[in-house]
Amino acid sequence: MMKKKSGIALSLVLAAGTLLAGCGAGADKKEEAGGKDAQDAFSIAMVTDEGGVDDKSFNQSAWEGIQEYGKANDLEKGKGGYNYLQSANDADYATNLNTLVRNDFDLIYGVGYKLQGAIDEIAGQQKNAHFVIVDSVVEQPNVVSLTFKENEGSYLAGVVAGLTTKTNKIGFVGGIESDLITKFEVGFIEGVKAVNPNANVDVQYAGSFTAADKGKAIASSMYGAGIDIIYHAAGGSGNGVFSEAIDLKVKNPDRELWVIGVDKDQYEDGNGKTKAGEEFNITLTSMVKRVDVAVKDLAEKAKTGEFPGGEVLEYGIEEDAIGIAPAPHDEHLSEEVKTKVAEYQEKILKGEIVVPTK
């Protein structure tokens, strides 16, 4: 069950305010949407961090959720429907948020903890607008903080790695050191140790979510030291981990090495081809963080006047928003590993295992 951290009375007041505001804006919305009623024309948009909308990570997942919401509600991309604005750097965050407010979007998502400051600032200025911060917390009555139990999914990824490694040497590559990425790191290490106490996990950070070259260099060092599985939580920097693993596999097709993807199912990112033309895949599994599920769920709530302003919503295994990539992209996992993953997942759901966050 999602955790809610706010006053119930405040949420009710805000919900009532949303309904009243919806009544007043109904005619305009109907006109913009070509005849749809106000509820059907509920518009949503998002601002990316500098990773971009096609980062193969949570920006992309969030955008996919917004697109699915738009199509399900017969909306078009653009003003009055659904849209996104891409940020080239930190300076773009506030500007992009204000642009979406001026374009009268009913719900505006800021994707990534780096937008925390900008959303806090703009939400304070634009008190009638509704915002969502993904992966962080902003304490404003017109902001919902949308968070995930990455530590739980990372624990399951650790179970996979601990049972699969042949060298007992495993790597973790993070993007920027933060409380958020620490949840991935700690959960992963706990999962590895739960099933393989003899395994060692080497932890390194790229210092960026957009430096594929740095991710590749770290992976080169790790694989060179005998590590056979690397789990990355590094956004675009993680692309370099995949690149290095594929390059090494091309050089030595018999070598057994793997990457564990993050946020999205990164199976396709592990596809390669040997010099002889034989295809291979080095994605062992992915820790899937269904930002799209959470984005759609919250949009539907807000659309019906149930915008939970001021609350922190936490999505995890129970909400089908966190887990391991499903079939058919579990082909590299033995039946023993799949059974163990299911076993530990059930223990987490029942509260028998509480995965730490730091």
**CATH value at residue 219:** 3.40.50.2300
- Residues 325-339, mean pLDDT to the nearest whole number: 95
Return mean pLDDT, the chain. 89
Based on the domain organization, do 258 and 303 belong to the same domain?
A: no
**Residue with structure tokens 């009710």?**
12
Q: Is residue 10's pLDDT more than 80?
A: no
Nearest alpha-carbon partner for 143 in 115, 183, 180, 182: 115
Residue 114 inside a domain? The answer is: yes
Predicted confidence band of residue 57 (pLDDT cuts 50, 70, 90): confident
Based on the domain organization, do 216 and 336 belong to the same domain?
A: yes
Based on the domain organization, do 139 and 170 belong to the same domain?
A: no
Of 98-102, 106-110, 314-318, minimum mean pLDDT range: 314-318
Residue 240 inside a domain? The answer is: yes
- Residues 44-53, mean pLDDT to the nearest whole number: 92
Residue 266 inside a domain? The answer is: yes
Return the half-sphere exposure (C-beta side, CA atoms, 13 A cut-off) of residue 226: 7
Q: Is residue 56's pLDDT more than 90?
A: no
Based on the domain organization, do 163 and 51 belong to the same domain?
A: no
Better-predicted residue by pLDDT, 5 or 328: 328
Based on the domain organization, do 100 and 142 belong to the same domain?
A: yes
Strand boundaries in the chain, DSSP class E? 44-47, 82-85, 107-111, 131-134, 143-148, 169-174, 200-205, 229-233, 258-263, 271-273, 279-281, 283-289, 312-315, 322-324
pLDDT digits (tens, 9 = 90+) for 168-210: 999 999 999 999 999 999 999 999 999 999 999 999 999 998 8
Based on the domain organization, do 83 and 225 belong to the same domain?
A: no
**Cβ atoms 86, 52 nearer than 8 A:** yes
**251: which 2 tokens?**
């050089």
Based on the domain organization, do 123 and 176 belong to the same domain?
A: no
Residue 3 inside a domain? The answer is: no
Predicted confidence band of residue 40 (pLDDT cuts 50, 70, 90): low
Predicted confidence band of residue 52 (pLDDT cuts 50, 70, 90): confident
Name beta bridge partners: 84: 46
Output the pLDDT for position 30. 35
Q: Which domain holds residue 229?
A: 150-288+326-350
pLDDT digits (tens, 9 = 90+) for 150-175: 999 999 999 999 999 999 999 999 99
Based on the domain organization, do 254 and 302 belong to the same domain?
A: no
What's the domain count of the chain? Answer: 2
Predicted confidence band of residue 58 (pLDDT cuts 50, 70, 90): confident
Of 19-23, 64-68, 211-215, 283-287, minimum mean pLDDT range: 19-23
Predicted confidence band of residue 119 (pLDDT cuts 50, 70, 90): very high
Output the pLDDT for position 15. 39
The span from the CA of 123 to the CA of 23, in Å, is: 22
pTM for the full model? Answer: 0.80
Output the pLDDT for position 54. 86
Of 224-228, 246-250, 293-297, minimum mean pLDDT range: 293-297
The span from the CA of 288 to the CA of 302, in Å, is: 25
Residue 356 inside a domain? The answer is: no
Q: Are strands 279-281 and 271-273 parallel, antiparallel or unpaired?
A: antiparallel
Residue 31 inside a domain? The answer is: yes
Output the pLDDT for position 51. 82
**Burial per residue of 242-260, b for 16 or more beta-carbon CB atoms within 10 angstroms, e otherwise:** bbbbbebbeeeeeeebbbb
Output the pLDDT for position 55. 80
Better-predicted residue by pLDDT, 56 or 151: 151
Nearest alpha-carbon partner for 316 in 122, 195, 183: 183
Based on the domain organization, do 342 and 212 belong to the same domain?
A: yes
Coil, helix or strand at residue 31: helix
Residue 242 inside a domain? The answer is: yes
Based on the domain organization, do 232 and 305 belong to the same domain?
A: no
Based on the domain organization, do 102 and 81 belong to the same domain?
A: yes
Contacts of 357 (CB under 8 A, 6+ apart): 151, 179, 182, 183, 186, 187
Based on the domain organization, do 221 and 345 belong to the same domain?
A: yes
Residue 1 inside a domain? The answer is: no
What is the length of the chain? 358
Output the pLDDT for position 215. 98
